[in-house]
Chains A and B, each alone.
Chain A
């Protein structure tokens, strides 16, 4: 069952990425990425990391992709990149793709010839994480609340209407 699910999710993942690359409509692209993130979350779930799976959905599929959709809605991308810049962009993409392939080869090497067992701790169950947050990392955790207040107040000041107008 687990194997079946893994292959199903993996195929959907790859399919979503390929569809995203070849789709011309930006809104569809964003939706395909959301599909990809949901499948990735499923894969994390299979790996016994439910917390990361949930975070994956909430943060990436929920937060970041909605932001992407907003940007797509507000900026007109229909005309595409002008041809004189296109060559430059393609060169850059080849460069980045090359770096990625090298990284993948390294990962493959590490997978085929494991040097040592990875010293992973617990794979992040919500209970462990919550316990750590409220004991060892209490102080940083509380500071994040201040951070959120600052971000909220700041955003509101910058976008609210002026009283005098």
Chain B
């Protein structure tokens, strides 16, 4: 195997994106669905290359590109996310007047940015990957150009994203100044040789964490999330709630796990993250209680979930973090798919009142949505329950009992707003007519796949746990 082979997943995505761009220009067709199929084919090829490199631990370009199982696991999770998002976008784009073919190319490019980030442990490469991801995300958020909210979302995301990048670059520069290297392993090794963490190193590490804090949307860096999630096209919101978060956490794992073993001074960073995690769980869930717009509510719910994932980071248990992500992928995309299903030409039903009586009028959408909401709230036998259970039990093993108590209480609070939707769907009389466009086979496929994923992970999680175990054991902190 040479370095070209190691780059195949990335190259596939970029070639796919360029092909979509060229076809969009050269074939003028009103129906853009064929572009979605092309990008799905490329995504599957990319996934095939990732699966093929499983267990081989490629490392190329002076360790700038490092394909361990951990990177591949996250890559595959992200590829699945993108496939599902592409499927739910197909009908949505023409219904909601967002009919641009470049959409699929930008999705592929955003994914390539994420793959760059997860398969490297060099901060420069991670930063470049982040910029590729961010640039395409800003555009995707603003794609509904007739909609003021969408433009606002794009601008807000752009400004705060640039802000976050600035933090990250500043932190990176300080870390480089301390250790004379941008590789995470060398930086951490340098920390080990010093008797105590210098102020510069501390500030650098802090700024890098702040930069990623914006990307994974933890309190107090979450302010942009609700507006961006509400304004962006709904499939893109689903994408934002999983993709950037997954890569943010993957990078934090690579950065922080070796750092915990630097004996001195890591307590300060640890307690800062502890506070962030507790605040994120509490504030995310409490504000979600007051939301009546479904997309805003799911935005706050995704903030709260970032808090639970932070618990997994603090308890140094990578496998529970990864399991949580797999479950979160299915339940969150499922929930957003159900929200997208409730729409017709130029109209989306996003207010809580619109959901009254949906459960009986559209039993399939209502029932699957209910399952996803139960899973997000963490009821057995869904995957959401097991995911929370693994995270919290790992935290208890590490002695983070007070954090777990906060987490459990916060997720009890969350039950209220998840169940409120179900109550509306099944126990309220509809106040106005809601008619939706049901000719959307791709969307129903996604609903079914996500339902299967959530239940499979909740009842028979064995296979995926085995894969996660292989992935965790392979993390080498190069």
Which chain A residues have a beta carbon within 8 Å of chain B's beta carbons? 136-140, 143-144, 146-147, 149-151, 153-155, 157-158, 162, 164
Asked if A140 and B135 make an inter-chain contact with CB atoms under 8 angstroms apart, the answer reads no
B271 to chain A minimum Cβ distance, whole angstroms, is 29
Does B335 have its Cβ within 8 Å of any Cβ on chain A? no
Residue among B17, B124, B128, B142 making CB contact with A147, cutoff 8 Å = B128
Which B residues lie within 8 Å of A149 (CB)?
17-18, 109
- Let me know if A153 and B64 touch, CB within 8 A: no
A139 to B128, CA, bound (A): 10
Closest A residue to B62 by beta carbon equals: A136
Instruction: Say which residue of A146, A147, A158 sits within 8 Å of B145 (CB atoms).
Output: A158
The chain B residue with its CB closest to the CB of A149 is B109
Question: Contact at A162–B145, with CB atoms within 8 Å?
Answer: yes
Name A143's contact: one of B18, B128, B142, B154 (CB within 8 Å): B128
B366 within 8 A of A: no
Chain A contact residues, majority secondary structure: helix
Give bound CA distance, A144 to B64, whole Å.
14
Given contacts A153-B105, A153-B106, contact A140 B128 (CB under 8 A): yes
A154 to B143, CA, bound (A): 10
18 contacts between A and B (CB under 8 A): A138-B61, A139-B61, A140-B64, A140-B124, A140-B125, A143-B125, A147-B135, A149-B18, A150-B113, A151-B135, A154-B135, A154-B139, A157-B139, A157-B143, A158-B139, A158-B154, A162-B145, A164-B99
CA A31 to CA B65, docked complex, whole Å = 44
B112 CB contacts on chain A under 8 angstroms: 146
Q: How far is the CB of B50 from chain A (nearest CB, A)?
A: 18
For residue A150, give the distance in angstroms from its CB to the closest CB of chain B: 4
CB neighbours (8 Å) of A143 from chain B are: 116, 125, 128-129, 132
Bound together, the chains give a CA A61 to CA B474 distance in angstroms of 49
Asked if A146 and B132 make an inter-chain contact with CB atoms under 8 angstroms apart, the answer reads yes
Interface string of B1-31 (1 = CB under 8 A from A): 0000000000000100110010000000000
Q: Report Cα–Cα, A164/B124, bound state, in Å.
A: 42
Verify B154–A150 contact, CB threshold 8 A. no
B406 at the interface (CB under 8 A from A): no
Residue B102 lies at the interface, judged by CB distance under 8 Å to chain A: yes
Q: Could you mark each residue 102-124 of chain B with 1 if its beta carbon is under 8 Å from any beta carbon of chain A, else 0?
A: 10011001001100100000101
Q: Contacts of A137 on B, CB cut-off 8 Å?
A: 64, 124
Q: Could you tell me the distance in whole angstroms from the C-beta of B334 to the nearest C-beta in chain A?
A: 29
Residues of A within 8 A of B60 (CB): 139
A/B pair count, beta carbons within 8 Å? 65
Known: A136-B62, A153-B21, A157-B143. 10 other contacts (CB 8 A): A139-B60, A139-B64, A143-B129, A146-B112, A147-B131, A147-B132, A147-B135, A154-B138, A154-B139, A157-B106
Contact with A along B55-75 (1 / 0, CB 8 A): 000001110110000000000
CB contacts (< 8 Å) of B64 on chain A: these are 137, 139-140
B160 within 8 A of A: no
Q: Is B293 on the interface with A (CB-CB < 8 A)?
A: no
Q: Is there an interface contact between A153 and B139, defined as CB atoms closer than 8 Å?
A: yes
B136 within 8 A of A: yes
- Select from chain B the residue with minimum beta-carbon distance to A162: B145
Min Cβ gap A110→B in Å is 15
- A157 B128 Cβ-Cβ under 8 A: no
Q: With the chains together, A78 CA to B188 CA distance in Å?
A: 53
Q: How far is the CA of A143 from the CA of B105 in the complex (A)?
A: 17
B-chain residues with CB within 8 Å of residue A158 when the two chains form the complex: 139, 142, 145, 154
Residue-wise interface mask of B (131-153) relative to A, using a CB-CB cutoff of 8 A (1 in contact, 0 not): 11001101100110100000000
Q: How far does the Cβ of B102 sit from chain A's closest Cβ, in whole Å?
A: 5
With a cutoff of 8 Å between Cβ atoms, the chain B residues found around residue A155 in the complex are 139
| In the complex, the 3 A-B pairs of residues with the closest C-beta atoms, listed nearest first | A154-B139, A139-B61, A139-B64
Instruction: List residues of chain B with CB within 8 A of the CB of A140.
Output: 64, 122, 124-125, 128
Query: Which residues of A sit under 8 angstroms from B132, Cβ to Cβ?
Result: 143, 146-147, 150
Q: Which residues of B contact A162 (CB under 8 A)?
A: 145
In the bound complex, what is the Cα–Cα distance between A157 and B25 (angstroms)? 12
Report A12 CB to chain B, min CB distance, Å: 30
Q: What separation, in Å, do the CA atoms of A138 and B17 have in the docked complex?
A: 22
Task: Tell me, in angstroms, the Cα distance from A143 to B65 when the chains sit together.
Answer: 11
Could you say which residues of chain A place their CB within 8 Å of the CB of B106? Answer: 150, 153-154, 157
B472 surroundings in chain A (CB, below 8 A): none
**What is the minimal beta-carbon distance from B116 to any residue of chain A, in angstroms?**
6
In this assembly, does B100 line the interface, its C-beta being within 8 Å of a C-beta of chain A? yes
How close is A11's CB to chain B, nearest CB, in angstroms? Answer: 32
Q: How far is the CB of A140 from chain B (nearest CB, A)?
A: 5
Contacts of A139 in B (CB 8 A): 60-62, 64-65, 125
Q: How far is the CA of A164 from the CA of B116 in the complex (A)?
A: 36
Cα-based distance from A146 to B60 in the complex (angstroms) = 19
Q: Which residue of A lies closest to B60 (CB)?
A: A139
B143–A150 contact, CB under 8 A? no
| Least Cβ–Cβ distance between A136 and chain B, in angstroms | 6
List residues of B (183-219) whose CB comes within 8 Å of A's CBs: none
Nearest Cβ on chain B to A4's Cβ, whole angstroms:
35
Q: How far is the CB of A40 from chain B (nearest CB, A)?
A: 20
CB of B253 to closest CB in A, whole Å? 21
Q: Are the CB atoms of B102 and A150 closer together than 8 Å?
A: no
In chain B, positions 216-237 with a C-beta closer than 8 Å to chain A are none
Choose one: A136, A144, A147, A153; the contact of B102 (CB below 8 Å): A153
Chain A residues in 8 Å Cβ range of B136? 150, 154
Chain A residue nearest in CB terms to B136: A150
For the complex, give the distance between the alpha carbons of A158 and B145 in Å: 8
- Cα distance, A150 to B62, chains bound together (Å): 25
Min Cβ gap B112→A in Å is: 6
**Looking across the interface, which residue of chain A has its beta carbon closest to that of B14?**
A146
Once A139-B125, A153-B21, A153-B102 are accepted as A-B contacts, the answer to whether A146 and B139 lie under 8 Å apart by CB is no
Closest to A159 in B: B145
Once the chains are docked, how many angstroms separate the CA of A70 from the CA of B17?
32
